[in-house]
Amino acid sequence: MSAATRHVLFVLLALLAVFVTAAWNLPRAWLGSPLSLLPPVLVCAALQEQGSAWQWVAVVGGLARDSLSLDPLGVSILPLYLTGWFLSSHRELLLSELAFAQAILGLAVGAAVPLLTLGLVVASGDVPAMGGRLFWQWLVLTVSGGLITPAMFRIWRRVEAWFAHPMIPSTSFREDREILRGKY
Amino acid sequence: MSVRPQWLTFGGVMLLVLVLLNLPQAASSRLRLVLGTVYLPLFGATRVAGTVVARAEDALTPRGLLLRRNQELEDENRGLHARLLQAEEALEENARLRSLLGWREVSPWRLQAARVIARDTASWWRTVYIDAGTRDGLKPDLPVLAAEGLVGRLGAVGPVSSEVILIGDPKCRVAVVVREVGENGVLTTLSPGVLDHRLVDLTHLARNTALQPGQTVFTSGLGGVFPAGLPVGTVVDWRSVGYGLYTEARVKLHADTSRLREVMVVLP
């Protein structure tokens, strides 16, 4: 799969994550908070992709998220970008193939992105209602980020498989070792 | 990617963020609505899928259950029809008395129904998005109702979708009156420290207000955004604050804003 296709797919995945966050009301009705879906896409993009897909996820995903929120437009770009940059620059050191490591990274990013965003929202002059409810919502976002990130890696592998050429299974057959039987 | 292009890109992103954050309010709202239109086809598809599922459920519902439900609705309809006749009589009487007193006539509400298509992606705001906009006659700040009572007011309004700021959000304060005692107050934010999203703080009540649990709260019409008489909720409890200078109460909203599906906008 070409780098451009991967970029487009990651951006589409980010847009879809924002759409599901806004349109799927079940977690909000049951847990009092939406699930964290965009940070797992960012983690996946930053660790899977050599190029700049994570930057596109941060900018386009952040804009899309803010377009469906009372937050000032553009406020969530920076937190996503900074966390994506950190992950991308430490890609070689992170055990991104292990589900456990993916979950820990998801927890960390799921916790950091809402905190940084809220900090910027407050700094820009908008003050949402603070209190115990906000802490609970942050917990839900953190835990859901940790749970969804390994699943997001699996989804990405599946998506990649759709667009890649099928692998030719290796075989032990060798013509020079073929035992020919019968009359010849 | 090498270090230098990364810093250049970061500079570009910072510039973009600074420009966006410093846009005038009107331009920012317009840009937000334009970006939000990307999702309109998806919201439309979700609605169609929901309709298909609902039809499938209808097809699977037993006929006996439907007949019983139909009978219940017919009974309820008869009762409501009788109450409507009484209300019309009272309305006519009210209009007659108003004209005798020389008071200005009150025009009846015109309602625009709309569906909730999305909710705020940030968990710290209480906002929903509906599938009606300027082409349906909506304007910013119009009151929004559910069947049970007031739920909020319109924020930014686009051509085909609008933002509804719900009661309990810091950006939606409602001037209300406790009907039984005639005391005016302001509904502010959700009560802190509880997970019940229907409990809202009612502040600015006089210190010796005779509040009782179960007293009803309606819009007072003060402030000019919400017309008087819209049902809002009931008083749950109250406490003295500010060294006894005034009273603060908790109000349970009639409408469950976390499960809203359809709303009505009160048109001017």
Percent of chain A clearing pLDDT 90 (strictly above): 54
Percent of chain A clearing pLDDT 70 (strictly above): 99
Asked if residue B265 is part of any domain, the answer here is no
CATH number, domain containing residue B210:
2.40.10.350
**Domain membership of residue A58 as a residue range:** 3-161
On whether ipTM exceeds 0.85, the answer is no
Q: How far is CA A132 from CA B125, B170, B192, B225, in A?
A: 14, 16, 6, 30
Determine contact: B203 vs chain A, CB below 8 A.
Answer: no
Q: For residues B249 and B189, state if they share a domain.
A: yes
CATH number, domain containing residue B144:
2.40.10.340
Distance from CA of B55 to the nearest CA of A (A): 20
Provide DSSP, A108-137. HHHHHHHHHHHHHHHHTT--PPPSHHHHHH
Q: Which residues pair with B163 in a beta bridge?
A: B129
**Residue pLDDT, tens place only, A124-139:** 888 887 777 888 899 9
Q: For residues B140 and B117, state if they share a domain.
A: yes
Asked if residue B81 is part of any domain, the answer here is yes
Q: Which residue in chain B is spatially nearest to A37 when comparing CA positions?
A: B121
DSSP H or E segment with residue B7? helix B3-21
Supply the pLDDT for residue B57: 85
Count of domains for chain B: 4
Chain-chain contact of B169 with A32 (C-beta, under 8 angstroms): no
Strands B246-253 and B127-130: unpaired
Chain-chain contact of B38 with A71 (C-beta, under 8 angstroms): no
CATH number, domain containing residue A25:
1.10.1760
Chain-chain contact of A129 with B43 (C-beta, under 8 angstroms): no
CA B98/CA B105 separation, integer angstroms: 7
Mean pLDDT (whole number) for A163-170: 76
CA B229/CA B231 separation, integer angstroms: 6
Closest CA to B178 of B239, B242, B249, B258: B249
The Cβ of residue B27 has, within 10 Å, a number of other Cβ atoms equal to: 11
Supply the pLDDT for residue B106: 67
Asked if residue B15 is part of any domain, the answer here is yes
User: Which residue, among B6, B22, B29, B123, would best test binding to A if mutated, counting the most A CBs under 10 Å from its CB?
Assistant: B123
Chain-chain contact of A85 with B194 (C-beta, under 8 angstroms): no
Asked if residue A35 is part of any domain, the answer here is yes
Determine contact: B169 vs chain A, CB below 8 A.
Answer: yes
Q: For residues B126 and B102, state if they share a domain.
A: no
CB B167 within 8 A of CB B203: no
Q: For residues B79 and B94, state if they share a domain.
A: yes
Mean pLDDT (whole number) for A157-165: 84
Quote the pTM value: 0.83
Q: For residues B101 and B158, state if they share a domain.
A: no
**Residue pLDDT, tens place only, A71-111:** 999 999 999 999 999 999 888 888 878 899 999 999 999 99
Q: For residues B102 and B115, state if they share a domain.
A: no
Closest CA to B198 of B144, B121, B262, B260: B260
Determine contact: B15 vs chain A, CB below 8 A.
Answer: no
Asked if residue A180 is part of any domain, the answer here is no
SS3 category, B82: helix
Q: For residues B157 and B229, state if they share a domain.
A: no
User: For residue B7, what are its two tokens?
Assistant: 């810093």
Asked if residue A175 is part of any domain, the answer here is no
Query: The tokens 């599922």 sit on which residue?
Result: B53
Enumerate the residues of chain A whose CB falls inside 8 A of the CB of residue B117: 23
CA B265/CA B33 separation, integer angstroms: 19
CA A12/CA B81 separation, integer angstroms: 51
Determine contact: B117 vs chain A, CB below 8 A.
Answer: yes
Asked if residue A184 is part of any domain, the answer here is no
What band does A164 get if pLDDT is binned at 50, 70 and 90? confident
Residues of chain B with pLDDT under 50: none
- Which residues lie closer than 8 Å to B253 by C-beta, 6 or more apart? B149, B151, B167, B168, B198, B199, B200, B232, B233
Distance from CA of A131 to the nearest CA of B (A): 6
CA B157/CA B142 separation, integer angstroms: 10
> Which ranges in A68-181 belong to alpha helices (H)?
77-89, 99-123, 132-163
Q: For residues B237 and B192, state if they share a domain.
A: yes
Contacts of B94-101 with C-beta under 8 Å, sequence gap 24+, read none
Q: Which residues of A19-45 are buried (b: 16+ CB within 10 A; e: fewer)?
A: bbbbbbbebbeebbbbbbbbbbbbbbb
**Domain membership of residue B25 as a residue range:** 4-60
Determine contact: B49 vs chain A, CB below 8 A.
Answer: no
Supply the pLDDT for residue B2: 61
Count of domains for chain A: 1
Chain-chain contact of A71 with B125 (C-beta, under 8 angstroms): yes
